[in-house]
Amino acid sequence: MRAAIVDKPGSIRVGEVPDPTAGDGQLVLRVGACGICGTDLHIADGEFPPTPYPIVPGHEFAGEIVEIGKNAPAEWQVGDRVAVDPSLFCGHCGPCRSGHGNLCANWNATGDTVDGAFAEYVAVPAVNAYRLPDSLNWQQGALVEPVSCAVHGVRRIGVEAGERFLVIGAGTMGLLMQQLLQRGGASVTMVDRNAARLPRATQLGADAVTTDTAQLSGERFDAAVDCTGVPSAIEAAFNSVRRGGRLLIFGVAPGDAQVNLSPFRIYNDELTIVGSMAVLNSYGAALDLVANGAVETAPLLTDALPLSEYPKALELMRSGAGLKVQVLPNAEQEG
Ligand SMILES: [Zn+2]
Ligand SMILES: [Zn+2]
């Protein structure tokens, strides 16, 4: 089959690899769509430590079952449409046994540490598959994984009706976070240095938008969410929460980044700072939110490219020109 292959950091090509087969408890899917996210850029650049090379990346995906391995649950039939939680938790380490599989000591994920879905076919554990309603297309199905990350983030920070949130970063994740917070009864002020990204936040119901936190003129929020991973943005988010406020570190900062936060303020203002790492028991909820229209997907799905253009899709993602860039690995065959 054809697949996007990262042979080693910086070396990306589309070529032939052996077809996957369905191992014990596995399904093989014909991939309908697979989204690119920041992690894929890190994998391409050699900046995601768990990734072994060569690898076929791709962890945000949906597809049609074409092969069923032995011992897979009987509910699955060839032809069923599914979206897939890429998490591969070991189940037996300390974090897994205490219900924190996303912090697994032996963490793996389809597309991050084992071959993923920027390919015509992908093998996945059947227990990770969720039935995709007929009302959702492949692109919406592939968006469920980032939604599930946002669901986990919202669960970590918490939201109450009437709260005022500051969200920094109006990319795909920021706009998903915005929608979920609003659904929880909060109002959202969105900040992004790229003014071109702000009209979508307004269209999705943001209370206010701005390109610079300095323009918030000392306004204090009940909680702030950083969706950028940029140290200066995290500091601005920290400085914008009220006494007793909360800060969620949701964006992925470089591993060696440092921020300058006042411990006196954390103490004196009783601030709460929390992190949110990937997905934890949030995939099914995310699929429901997409299926029932609670999350608007159309404004986020800006680009869909064929598999042959995977390197171009990566560069499009890197440029920040669009929002969610996806690859349709079987679109060329389907014409
Ligand atoms: Zn991702
Ligand atoms: Zn584990």
Please report whether residue 242 resides in a domain: yes
Please, what is the average pLDDT of the chain? Answer: 96
pLDDT at 335: 47
**Residue among 110, 10, 92 at smallest CA distance from 56:** 110
Final residue before a domain boundary, out of 260, 275, 290: 275
Classify strands 108-109 and 187-191 as parallel, antiparallel or unpaired.
unpaired
For CA atoms 158, 159, 164, 168, give the dihedral sign.
Answer: positive
Say how many Å lie between the CA of residue 93 and the centre of ligand 2. Answer: 4
Q: What is the CATH number of the domain that holds 32?
A: 3.90.180.10
Say how many Å lie between the CA of residue 308 and the centre of ligand 1. Answer: 20
Report in angstroms the alpha-carbon separations of 302 from 162, 246, 320.
31, 32, 11
Residues 134 and 162 in one domain: no
Say how many Å lie between the CA of residue 87 and the centre of ligand 1. Answer: 11
pLDDT at 218: 86
Say how many Å lie between the CA of residue 105 and the centre of ligand 2. Answer: 5
Please report whether residue 220 resides in a domain: yes
pLDDT at 289: 98
Please report whether residue 280 resides in a domain: no
**Closest ligand to 252 CA?**
1
Query: For residue 33, is pLDDT > 90?
Result: yes
Residues 44 and 173 in one domain: no
CB within 8 Å of 328: residues ≥ 6 apart: 32, 33, 138, 139, 304, 305, 306, 307
**Closest ligand to 150 CA?**
1
Say how many Å lie between the CA of residue 2 and the centre of ligand 2. Answer: 32
Query: For residue 34, is pLDDT > 70?
Result: yes
Query: What confidence tens digit (pLDDT) does each residue in 226-256 have?
Result: 999 999 999 999 999 999 999 999 998 888 9
Please report whether residue 286 resides in a domain: no
Q: Which of 118-122, 261-265, 275-279, 318-322 has the lowest mean pLDDT?
A: 318-322
Say how many Å lie between the CA of residue 37 and the centre of ligand 1. Answer: 5
Residues 139 and 158 in one domain: no
Say how many Å lie between the CA of residue 164 and the centre of ligand 2. Answer: 36
What single letter denotes the amino acid at residue 141?
Answer: G
CB within 8 Å of 93: residues ≥ 6 apart: 104, 105, 106
Tell me which residue range forms the domain holding 269. Answer: 150-275
Query: What confidence tens digit (pLDDT) does each residue in 48-105 have?
Result: 889 999 999 999 999 999 999 999 999 999 999 999 999 999 999 999 999 999 999 9
**Closest ligand to 92 CA?**
2
Residues 156 and 125 in one domain: no
Please report whether residue 197 resides in a domain: yes
Please report whether residue 257 resides in a domain: yes
Please report whether residue 330 resides in a domain: yes
DSSP tag of 216: G
Say how many Å lie between the CA of residue 277 and the centre of ligand 2. Answer: 14
Residues 83 and 154 in one domain: no
Residues 161 and 138 in one domain: no
Residues 126 and 211 in one domain: no
Q: How far apart are CA 219 and CA 221, in angstroms?
A: 7
Residues 139 and 155 in one domain: no
- Predicted confidence band at 322 (pLDDT cuts at 50, 70, 90)? confident
Q: How far apart are CA 200 and CA 323, in angstroms?
A: 10
**Closest ligand to 172 CA?**
1
Query: For residue 334, is pLDDT > 80?
Result: no
Rg over CA atoms, the chain = 20
pLDDT at 147: 98
Domain count, the chain: 2
Q: How far apart are CA 136 and CA 172, in angstroms?
A: 18
How wide is the angle at C-alpha 259 spanned by C-alphas 255 and 262, nearest 5°?
Answer: 145
Residues 214 and 309 in one domain: no
Say how many Å lie between the CA of residue 334 and the centre of ligand 1. Answer: 26
Q: What is the CATH number of the domain that holds 205?
A: 3.40.50.720
Residues 170 and 244 in one domain: yes
How wide is the angle at C-alpha 149 spanned by C-alphas 64 and 131, nearest 5°?
Answer: 25
Residues 269 and 157 in one domain: yes
Query: For residue 333, is pLDDT > 70?
Result: no
Q: In a 3-state reduction of DSSP, which class is residue 142?
A: helix
**Residue 165: which H helix or E strand, with range?**
strand 164-168
Please report whether residue 310 resides in a domain: yes
Query: For residue 332, is pLDDT > 80?
Result: no
**Closest ligand to 91 CA?**
2
Q: How far apart are CA 123 and CA 21, in angstroms?
A: 7
What single letter denotes the amino acid at residue 114?
Answer: V
Distance of alpha carbon 292 from the chain centroid? 19
CB within 8 Å of 4: residues ≥ 6 apart: 12, 13, 14, 56, 57, 58, 118, 119, 307, 310, 311, 327
Query: What confidence tens digit (pLDDT) does each residue in 152-168 have?
Result: 999 999 999 999 999 99
Q: How far apart are CA 6 and CA 124, in angstroms?
A: 20
**Closest ligand to 95 CA?**
2
Residues 263 and 310 in one domain: no
% the chain with pLDDT above 70: 99
Say how many Å lie between the CA of residue 39 and the centre of ligand 1. Answer: 6
